[in-house]
Structure 1
Amino acid sequence: MNLNPLAEALNSDLSANGSSILQMLSEKGKAIFFPSKGILGQGGEAKGKEINATIGTALEDDGSPLVLPSVLKSLNMPKQSFLYAPSYGNPDIRDAWKAQVIRKNPSLEGKSFSRPVVTAALTHAISMAGYLFLDPNDKVIIPDLYWDNYELVFENAYGAKIQTYNTFKNGGFDVEALEEALNKDGIGKKVLLLNFPNNPTGYTATEEEAKKITEVLVRAAEKGNKVVALLDDAYFGLVYEDGVTRESLFTKLLDAHKDILAVKLDGPTKEDYVWGFRVGFMTFGFKGATPEQLKALESKAAGAVRGNISNAPNISQLILLAAYNSPEYVKEKEEKYAVLKKRYDIIQETLASHPEYSEAFEPMPFNSGYFMCVKPKGVDAEAVRVELLQNYSTGTIMLKGLLRLAFSAVPTAKLPQLFDNVYHAILALKSK
């Protein structure tokens, strides 16, 4: 494949100082670049000129965006929100999000990692990670309890194969199963995805498990593997128990080994309760990374975004930026966290006060996030889901033989009824 000179320059940066990061990229990842010399670059050079006939927007004679009054009146936003955002993302929100990541992960203070690149929410960030790191038939190592959209992204879109391992052992994360999965298929590139808090189970690794996971990945790298650790942090911060890691695994992995590339995939969708805004972030880090290498990864990510959707929504970025600059923001986050924490506590109280529920289902380990799962005993999970719909006016999700219960979406007062409905639906099926 003949590479564009801009891609070759980025690849040269990534392979400088004996770095192995270039070897971790897919063929598409090696070929992608940000078109800094094309329309965007030429448009940037024309900024501030008396006449600027470069960019594909429409402006009023006074230079403001040409917008429909019927659209503008519905928004309490300046006209600038109608313009394109850069493919890298609004620079102010990139900096604001990086500052937030450090505030929420104090271990990152003083460490070197990239500026976040803005994507159209976290699913798009995962897809762009697939673009950069996965070739057809590459394997992605994921726990066997995972969000089913990974299949569409990794397998259907990029032709990769999901390789699963056992999620839980003795009521906790099965670190040994992860290591066994990494040791399969010999030495080479290893792409894995870790999702804490996990969807569907609502489980986050304990502090001890997070340490052991890091050790497992370091051992894999020391054997000669090139490890790409994709960290789906969609539900970051929603942890409800002591002893559970409060920081992203990114804090441990970004400087753990020169052959471990940590890719943090996160965003405000779940953290800030803005599901329809479609804003996410990709952040990169590896031990010994130079500023030029981190910038090269940012440019490849921005090039992938540019070639895929052009850019994420500007209006969403500006609304979020205003919120992040608001003095009430942190307090408001604490108040909403308290709502979800209360629901979690009520679930624990409900399960503890109804030992008879153990006859019908087993709760899977959970300590965080939006969800928890139960495993029906003696009946098919899909049959329970249908029974709940038809006779109990209750909706749940069936995944891999489990029922996922999104307590985030259930009114607090109705949570005991939810579990009572599940219990009686299972008993009803058993009696048939």
Structure 2
Amino acid sequence: MNPQAAELNNIIQEKSAIVFDMLSERGKNIFFPKKGILGQTAEAKGTKINATIGAAIEDDGTPMRLEAIASKINMDPGLVFPYAPSFGRPDIRSKWKNMIYEKNPSLSGVELSLPVVTNALTHGISMAGYMFCNPEDEVIVPDLFWGNYNLTLTSMYGCPLTKYNLFKSGGLDLEAFEAKLNEGGIGKKIVILNFPNNPSGYTPTDEEQEAIITIIKEAAEKGNKIVAITDDAYFGLVYEEGIAQESIFAPLAQLHENVLAVKVDGATKEDYVWGFRVGFMTYGIKGGDAALYGALESKTAGAIRGNISNAANISQSLLLSAFESEEYTTQKEAKYDIMKRRYDAVKEALKEEKYKEYFEAIPYNSGYFMCVQLSDGLVGEEIRQLLIQKYSIGLISLGNVLRVAFAAVAASDVKAIFEGIYEACKESKK
């Protein structure tokens, strides 16, 4: 083991032997190199002649660049062309942390790590897998989950996904979740909580979120060591009263010494910048302090450096500029209103009683998506193909479930989707 990894491990063990036990073997062995080339480069910062940097510099000291590219970007070249740190830019890390507190007021006074910048959500999930998932570790997910977990966790790290039933009687199946979390005896547990859920578009009610927290706390009190990864890709897009407004990360981050909350989020969906590829990983645990978090941040940055080196500087710069803009809040509210109208159009369309002959909506209240469950005897893939070929409607088939991305559809076109599904189902039944 590299001595720098051992040094970080010692800090983590001293601060929380439980967190150390949660780390994967990769997580225990990873470190962010403060010596070698990076250390020497840092020590040379500010020198009159600096020949350590692995990037070309113009004679005037600014980043070397092609005018064909620079002329298209109205920003300081220093915010665009150089490498960003593997941890992410310090300014956007600090800003995102402040925004987490603003979006989740119950975290006031709770010490969190400084977010580490990832190459958006997929990379964040992958880095969480790097840090905490050994091949023998199962990852608990609902039976409706984002398919990319298979690639990022199972294919990449060999961790099987173990599923529980998500819905029962129009709400979350809390009994199924509790049973799955406590399955297999006391030990290390890894769970992903994705709300609003992809594909169902469901966020827990306030009461359901409290129940989830109680289930996790009781499991922790029994001695389970729980890594709770919150996939907050669609955070903030909640369209109904009585639905949890804060991320479930907020109560988890202060719940119990045996529960490490790992928040994976980003601007991708929240701020409508899918191609920017800027996400964040933030840690929270009861009793966590700067030393523990600093060691986890260093390991995470080491994993990122060994994986992609760093996230794009220009994307981080553009986002930070937007976050600090006076128009940011107003513009974001305007986009939310559009999304809410599309959601309302779905609700209105599904009042049509005839649809129940062939399909019914799975619970939904937030996010980008909703799903319909097809009646027995109908095959999702057949309906999907028929919708494309005859009705020019594209949906996603998940077995006997069809996922509707209403976020991508004008409110005026929503009704046509469900009429198309109805007609395709009727034709398929003939």
Q: Same fold (TM over 0.5)?
A: yes
Structure 1 residues 18 and 125: CA distance shift in structure 2, 3 A? closer
Candidates 348, 356, 366, aligned match of 1:368: 366
Structure 2 residue aligned with 1:30: 28
Judge conservation of contact 1:89–1:118 (CA < 8 Å) in 2: yes
Structure 2 residue aligned with 1:137: 136
Structure 1 residue aligned with 2:117: 118
TM-superposed deviation, 1:272:
0.1
User: What is the CA–CA distance in structure 2 between the aligned matches of 1:247 and 1:240, rounded to whole Å?
Assistant: 13
Judge conservation of contact 1:145–1:400 (CA < 8 Å) in 2: no
User: What is the CA–CA distance in structure 2 between the aligned matches of 1:54 and 1:427, rounded to whole Å?
Assistant: 69
Structure 2 residue aligned with 1:405: 404
Letter in 2 for 1:50: K
Structure 2 residue aligned with 1:88: 87
User: What is the CA–CA distance in structure 2 between the aligned matches of 1:190 and 1:307, rounded to whole Å?
Assistant: 26
User: What is the CA–CA distance in structure 2 between the aligned matches of 1:309 and 1:67, rounded to whole Å?
Assistant: 22
Letter in 1 for 2:418: F
Structure 2 residue aligned with 1:186: 185
Structure 1 residue aligned with 2:349: 350
TM-superposed deviation, 1:19:
3.5
Letter in 2 for 1:216: I
User: What is the CA–CA distance in structure 1 between the aligned matches of 2:336 and 2:34, rounded to whole Å?
Assistant: 42
Letter in 2 for 1:158: Y
Three-state SS of the structure 1 residue aligned to 2:425 is helix
- Which structure 2 residues correspond to residues 235-274 of structure 1 after superposition, within 5 A? 235-274=234-273
Correspondence 1:295 to 2:294? yes
Percent of paired sites with the same residue: 55
Q: Deviations over 1:369-408 (max 9, x none)?
A: 0000001113111111011011000000011321000000
Structure 2 residue aligned with 1:98: 97
Structure 1 residue aligned with 2:381: 382
Letter in 2 for 1:223: K
TM-superposed deviation, 1:296:
0.7
Structure 1 residue aligned with 2:149: 150
User: What is the CA–CA distance in structure 2 between the aligned matches of 1:40 and 1:170, rounded to whole Å?
Assistant: 56
User: What is the CA–CA distance in structure 1 between the aligned matches of 2:42 and 2:234, rounded to whole Å?
Assistant: 36
Task: Give aligned pairs, total.
Answer: 428
Letter in 1 for 2:336: Y
TM-superposed deviation, 1:12:
1.1
Three-state SS of the structure 2 residue aligned to 1:15 is helix
Judge conservation of contact 1:265–1:280 (CA < 8 Å) in 2: yes
TM-superposed deviation, 1:100:
0.9
**Is 40-49 or 19-28 further displaced after alignment?**
40-49
User: What is the CA–CA distance in structure 2 between the aligned matches of 1:41 and 1:356, rounded to whole Å?
Assistant: 68
TM-superposed deviation, 1:183:
1.3
Q: Deviations over 1:343-369 (max 9, x none)?
A: 1111111111x1111111010000000
Structure 2 residue aligned with 1:393: 392
User: What is the CA–CA distance in structure 2 between the aligned matches of 1:318 and 1:24, rounded to whole Å?
Assistant: 34
TM-superposed deviation, 1:66:
0.6
User: What is the CA–CA distance in structure 2 between the aligned matches of 1:261 and 1:75, rounded to whole Å?
Assistant: 41
Structure 1 residues 121 and 17: CA distance shift in structure 2, 3 A? closer
User: What is the CA–CA distance in structure 2 between the aligned matches of 1:375 and 1:289, rounded to whole Å?
Assistant: 43
Candidates 5, 9, 14, aligned match of 2:3: 5
User: What is the CA–CA distance in structure 1 between the aligned matches of 2:213 and 2:345, rounded to whole Å?
Assistant: 33
Structure 1 residue aligned with 2:304: 305
Three-state SS of the structure 2 residue aligned to 1:266 is strand
Correspondence 1:56 to 2:58? no
Correspondence 1:40 to 2:72? no
User: What is the CA–CA distance in structure 1 between the aligned matches of 2:36 and 2:343, rounded to whole Å?
Assistant: 51
Three-state SS of the structure 1 residue aligned to 2:336 is helix
User: What is the CA–CA distance in structure 2 between the aligned matches of 1:400 and 1:246, rounded to whole Å?
Assistant: 31
Structure 1 residue aligned with 2:19: 21
TM-superposed deviation, 1:38:
2.4
User: What is the CA–CA distance in structure 2 between the aligned matches of 1:357 and 1:140, rounded to whole Å?
Assistant: 36
User: What is the CA–CA distance in structure 2 between the aligned matches of 1:31 and 1:328, rounded to whole Å?
Assistant: 44
Structure 1 residue aligned with 2:76: 78
Judge conservation of contact 2:44–2:52 (CA < 8 Å) in 1: yes
User: What is the CA–CA distance in structure 2 between the aligned matches of 1:40 and 1:334, rounded to whole Å?
Assistant: 42
Three-state SS of the structure 2 residue aligned to 1:82 is coil
**Is 406-415 or 34-43 further displaced after alignment?**
34-43
Judge conservation of contact 2:253–2:285 (CA < 8 Å) in 1: yes
TM-superposed deviation, 1:17:
4.3
Query: Which 4+ residue blocks in structure 1 deviate beyond 2 angstroms?
Result: none
TM-superposed deviation, 1:110:
1.3
TM-superposed deviation, 1:239:
0.2
User: What is the CA–CA distance in structure 2 between the aligned matches of 1:361 and 1:76, rounded to whole Å?
Assistant: 51
Three-state SS of the structure 2 residue aligned to 1:89 is coil
Letter in 1 for 2:185: G
Structure 2 residue aligned with 1:161: 160
Q: Deviations over 1:307-342 (max 9, x none)?
A: 000000000000000000100101111000000001
User: What is the CA–CA distance in structure 2 between the aligned matches of 1:99 and 1:17, rounded to whole Å?
Assistant: 25
Judge conservation of contact 1:19–1:258 (CA < 8 Å) in 2: no
User: What is the CA–CA distance in structure 2 between the aligned matches of 1:177 and 1:39, rounded to whole Å?
Assistant: 51
Judge conservation of contact 2:379–2:399 (CA < 8 Å) in 1: no
User: What is the CA–CA distance in structure 1 between the aligned matches of 2:332 and 2:325, rounded to whole Å?
Assistant: 12
Judge conservation of contact 2:26–2:131 (CA < 8 Å) in 1: yes
User: What is the CA–CA distance in structure 2 between the aligned matches of 1:273 and 1:35, rounded to whole Å?
Assistant: 34
